[in-house]
Amino acid sequence: MIRKLAILFVIMICVSGCASEGKDRPSATDIFYRAAGAYQSGDYDKAIELYEKLRSSGIESGVVYYNLGNAYLKTNEIGKAILSYTRSRGYLPRDSDLIANDRYAHTLMKQPDAKTRSSPLVQEVLRLFGIISLKESIGIFLVIYYLLAALIIYAAVRRRGLILIIVLALIVTASLIIAAIPVIDKIYSAERGAIIVSSVVDVKKEPYDEAPTGFPIYAGMKVYVIKEGLGWFKIQRPDGRIGWVPAKSIENIRWSA
Amino acid sequence: MGKSVKFIILAILLVTGYTALAEEVPCRMRIDREKVSPGKQAQLEIELPKSYGVIVPEMPIIKDIDIRFSRSYPKAAEGITSDSQMMVFQYKVVPRTTGVFPIGPFRFQSGSDFYSTNQIMFVVEKEALRITPQQAPKSTDLKDHMYVLIDVPKTTVFINERVPVVLKLYTDWIDLENVSFSQKQSEYLLVKEFKDKLVEVIDKDATRFAVLKYTASFYAVTAGMYTLEPVSVKFTIVMPREGADGSAPELLNQNSPFYESLIGAAYSRQMELESEQVNITVMPLPVEDKPKSFRGAVGKFNFELKADKNSIKPMETVILTATISGEGNFDAMSAPVFGDPTGLKPSEPKINRSRDSISYDMPLTVQSKDIRSMPDLLFTYFDPSEKHYVTITRQIPVKLENIALSVKALSEDGLKANKAPEIRILPMKTTIDGPYPRQDPPYKGVSFWFFLIIPWVLIPSFIMFDRRRRYLDNHPSYAAFLRASRTADRSIRSAERSLKDGDMNGFYLKVFKIMQEYIGERVLISSAGVTGQTVDECVEPYVGKEMSSRIKQIFSECYSARYSAAGKDPAAMSLMLRNVGDVISEMNNKEFAKDNI
């Protein structure tokens, strides 16, 4: 009996502790509004601290990333601002404010993003699909994918008008390939993409401090991480140049939208 | 004064005048080789700077050396005038024994002139070791005739320090072709390719060797103990062809049985040699006092800076050319750095590399209106011999123009001078879209892959279904057979229910219909037309008499029970239903002529 009472007592304490903790802890919305207040009063460092706190608590929001990018931009941290805007574009791909501020942040970069080695067709497709999110890209891809599957089934069952079916199948297949390009690009960016956050970084030929420098790289530039280890990232610029940078100088994009 | 006295005076005057007029002319004496073997012939030449009126100089006798006049010929004089000539007298010199013999200086008279020569030392020594076929060793050890040495001046080096390496290929056979090198690559010691061949002839251990020197260099990228891997040298020995006059080919060591055995009648042969490995200790660069501008350059360098224009306005670009020359590792250095890059936008430098220098074309745009002077450009290197860092600072040779005007222009555009540039961005958002808990990206979820896989299940399913449907359309008897089995199974279950419910009439009616419909489907006639005669004519030929009689028995029992079903034993009815099931099951295994399965 005493044992049962003791267990009941412990459970009650735990439940009351959890309840009080939940009551004291501010909600995500509270932190958001506190951060907004700090931003509007010009306390950008405090706003950054609160937005980062919101982010580290597992909250994903395009607006949070947008405001965080603004706060970083106000404190002249171009790299982190561009990183936040890039993450925000995963959620708010067509937000005009975001697009404008992101473009403005890019003009402040000491060196523009390296030109990609992709073909002009791929670049044009990526430009067109730049205003849709990863989820939307995947949706479009799946719709065309199912259209192609339906066409194949129809061709197999119908067995008439084969020329028309073949023409349709070619058109749908081409559409599928085009739809796959932004999906692959966005997945690759989400998995491997990173933004330089230090103002300037010497890209080394080997992963150690004394190694010869291959080329400098500036804050805000987008790169792809191709290898990680021992505090160094092996990165590749969009134009194909490869080198090592300290892990602390870059941050992965990794948005989930 | 007497006649004799006058004669003497005149004679003295004549002799004095003649002597005064006669010249002491230096002339050059040379010999074509300073070392010969006893019995071998050398050629001595005396050049007299006069082409006429000269007689052959008589050579004095020298002990143990025979000197004989060979020929004389005129020759254009060197360095005087183009039309002056000299006379060359050639002598054959043959020593009889070994020793060092001074020849000259000689003094001789030709005409009214006196000539004096220089002195030369004539060395006579035993002939270089020549192995006759009788003396030749049976084993032909390659190292006696050719070998490879690697010459590394330093084995303790700093990171990035470029160390020259000389690979020496010793051979007493000079005609080598297609020399190539291979070496196991090291991740930490980077060796540049061997090139710049230099040939030298030396005498070593009484054998004359040609030394082919190939230079390269290496540098280490991390500190530690490493091994400079052996260098493998591949080449082709080429047998010189005989001269046009049939003379023997010229070899460094003629009559060597080694080559006779090696080559024989052939004219070339592939060979491969390998150098020794060398252990290298690589030390890290000192951390203390390392300037921030250090970018990996190790060696001794000079640094010069030029610009493509003398003055620049804000938002304009100047191209600075930083040239670094000297000795060291040009592969492991970077462009010089700006002392204070605030307000400047440097672009990626273009690198121009030459043998002993490297230059960086560095575009630099002045972006900020606040910048008042151009910063310095710093180049820091580590000097491995002095073991300290050296920083060279160069002022950018460009003046800033129209700063005030530019600032004014910018201030008119809404920016205030002397203040940090304002970040003009669109405002923050005050409403939150969510917030959403962080999720895995969609392509990592199960649903994404599920949606991707579904068509690969649907497509073959649809195709198989369509094929089946088409087959049944084209084979009605097979379709009827399938239909008969399914209908019979369904009807048997219905009859079971009637049995459980105690519906005797319904039970026998259903059993009768089961058999009638099944046989009708199998023989492709209307079920209403199935009679005992139909069973005899259409079913018995395929199922046999016993089965035929069982079918007819079922029909008979059902027929009689339709009129007196009451009082029937449920066990007997159950047995009958089982019998019907067995009959249908056995008939399913029988092939009817019209089935076309």
Give residue B317's pLDDT.
Answer: 79
Nearest CB to B433 within list A62, A100, A212: A62
Give residue B110's pLDDT.
Answer: 73
Q: Judge whether residue A24 has pLDDT over 50.
A: no
Q: Judge whether residue B111 has pLDDT over 80.
A: no
pLDDT tens digits along A85-120: 998 988 888 888 888 889 889 888 887 777 777 788
Band the pLDDT of A80: cuts 50, 70, 90.
very high
Average pLDDT over residues B113-131: 71
The DSSP element (H or E) to which A137 belongs, if any, is helix A134-158
Exposed (0-12), middle (13-18) or buried (19+): which is A6, by Cβ within 10 Å?
exposed
Q: Judge whether residue B266 has pLDDT over 80.
A: no
> What is the number of H-type helices and E-type strands within chain A?
9, 8
Sign of CA dihedral A30, A36, A38, A40: negative
Residues of chain A with Cβ-Cβ distance to B423 below 8 Å are 73-74, 76
Top-confidence residue, A5 or A23: A5
In sequence order, the β-bridge partners of residue B41 are: none
Give residue B17's pLDDT.
Answer: 53
- Mean pLDDT rounded to a whole number for chain B: 76
Look at residue B372 and give its three-state secondary structure: coil
3-state SS record for B234-281: EEEEECCCCCCCCCCCCCCCCCCHHHHHHHCCCCEEEEEEECCCEEEE
Q: Angle A62-74/A78-89 helices, nearest 10 degrees?
A: 160
pLDDT tens digits along B547-568: 889 988 888 888 887 766 555 7
Give residue B315's pLDDT.
Answer: 72
Distances (CA, A) of B272 to A222, B75, B143, B180, B232: 50, 49, 12, 9, 7
Give the phi and the psi of residue B49 in degrees, each rounded to 5: -80, 50
pLDDT tens digits along A137-161: 899 999 999 999 998 888 888 777 7
Give residue B433's pLDDT.
Answer: 66
Distances (CA, A) of B123 to A11, B45, B173: 113, 17, 26
Q: Judge whether residue B259 has pLDDT over 80.
A: no
The verdict on a CB contact (< 8 Å) between B455 and A216 is no
Of the ranges A17-21, B88-92, B223-227, B445-449, which one carries the lowest mean pLDDT score? A17-21
Average pLDDT over residues B292-304: 86
Give residue A82's pLDDT.
Answer: 94
B328–chain A nearest CA distance, Å: 13
Give the phi and the psi of residue B485 in degrees, each rounded to 5: -65, -45
Band the pLDDT of A196: cuts 50, 70, 90.
very high
B383/B393 Cα distance (integer angstroms) = 16
- Mean pLDDT rounded to a whole number for chain A: 83
Nearest CB to B334 within list A60, A142, A212: A212
Cα dihedral value B125, B127, B128, B130, nearest 10: -160
Q: Judge whether residue A189 has pLDDT over 80.
A: yes
Give residue B85's pLDDT.
Answer: 75
Q: Judge whether residue A236 has pLDDT over 70.
A: yes
How many alpha carbons fall within 13 Å on the CB side of residue A95? Answer: 24
Cβ atoms of B233 and B275 closer than 8 Å: yes
pLDDT tens digits along B189-241: 667 767 667 777 777 766 777 788 888 888 887 777 788 888 888 877 765 54
The verdict on a CB contact (< 8 Å) between A91 and B433 is yes
Give residue A13's pLDDT.
Answer: 47
Top-confidence residue, A246 or B505: A246
Q: What is the DSSP letter of B529?
A: G
Nearest CB to A149 within list B285, B433, B455: B455
Give residue B100's pLDDT.
Answer: 82
Give residue A79's pLDDT.
Answer: 93
Band the pLDDT of B2: cuts 50, 70, 90.
low
The verdict on a CB contact (< 8 Å) between B434 and A70 is no
The verdict on a CB contact (< 8 Å) between B443 and A216 is no
The verdict on a CB contact (< 8 Å) between B448 and A206 is no
Give residue A146's pLDDT.
Answer: 92
Which two tokens mark B245?
């006059």
Which two tokens mark A230?
């021992």
Which two tokens mark B14?
């004549």
Give residue A244's pLDDT.
Answer: 92
Of the ranges A116-125, A209-218, B320-329, B335-344, which one carries the lowest mean pLDDT score? B335-344
Band the pLDDT of B416: cuts 50, 70, 90.
very low
Cβ atoms of B172 and B210 closer than 8 Å: yes
The verdict on a CB contact (< 8 Å) between B438 and A59 is yes
A97/B28 Cα distance (integer angstroms) = 96
Nearest CB to A256 within list B284, B429, B438: B438
The verdict on a CB contact (< 8 Å) between A110 and B462 is no
Top-confidence residue, B369 or B490: B490
The verdict on a CB contact (< 8 Å) between B424 and A104 is yes
Read off the amino acid at residue B441.
Answer: P
Give residue B187's pLDDT.
Answer: 66
Q: Which of B192, B200, B190, B193 is nearest to B169 (CA)?
A: B200
Q: Give the end-to-end CA distance of chain B in Å, rounded to a whole number.
A: 170
A211/A205 Cα distance (integer angstroms) = 6
B288–chain A nearest CA distance, Å: 14
Sign of CA dihedral B560, B563, B566, B571: positive
How many alpha carbons fall within 13 Å on the CB side of residue B340? Answer: 9
Nearest CB to B423 within list A29, A73, A214: A73
The DSSP element (H or E) to which B228 belongs, if any, is strand B224-228
Distances (CA, A) of B329 to B189, B193, B224, B356: 13, 15, 19, 10
Give residue A15's pLDDT.
Answer: 44
Give residue A16's pLDDT.
Answer: 43
A5–chain B nearest CA distance, Å: 38
Give residue A26's pLDDT.
Answer: 60
The verdict on a CB contact (< 8 Å) between A111 and B347 is yes
Band the pLDDT of B173: cuts 50, 70, 90.
low
Q: Judge whether residue A4 has pLDDT over 80.
A: no
In sequence order, the β-bridge partners of residue B383 are: B388
How many inter-chain contacts (A to B, CB under 8 Å) are there? 144
Which two tokens mark B78?
């060197």
Which two tokens mark B476?
């009605």
Q: What is the DSSP letter of B565?
A: -
Sign of CA dihedral A241, A247, A253, A256: positive
Q: Judge whether residue B454 has pLDDT over 80.
A: yes
For Cα atoms B186, B191, B194, give the angle at the middle one, nearest 5 degrees.
Answer: 135
3-state SS record for B126-188: CCCCCCCCCCCCCCCCHHHCEEEEEECCCCEEECCCCEEEEEEEEECCCCEEEEEEEECCCCC
Look at residue B299 and give its three-state secondary structure: strand
B335–chain A nearest CA distance, Å: 9
In sequence order, the β-bridge partners of residue B231 are: B183
The verdict on a CB contact (< 8 Å) between A212 and B160 is yes
pLDDT tens digits along B488-519: 999 999 999 988 888 888 888 889 899 888 98
A124/B4 Cα distance (integer angstroms) = 126
In sequence order, the β-bridge partners of residue B390 are: B381
B127/A7 Cα distance (integer angstroms) = 111
A63/A211 Cα distance (integer angstroms) = 41
Band the pLDDT of B179: cuts 50, 70, 90.
confident
Closest chain A CA to residue B423: A74
SS3 content of chain A, % helix, strand, coil (to 5): 60, 15, 25
Distances (CA, A) of B507 to B353, B485, B580: 104, 19, 12
Mutation target among A157, A210, A221, A254 for the B interface, most CBs of B within 10 A: A210
Cβ atoms of B196 and B215 closer than 8 Å: yes
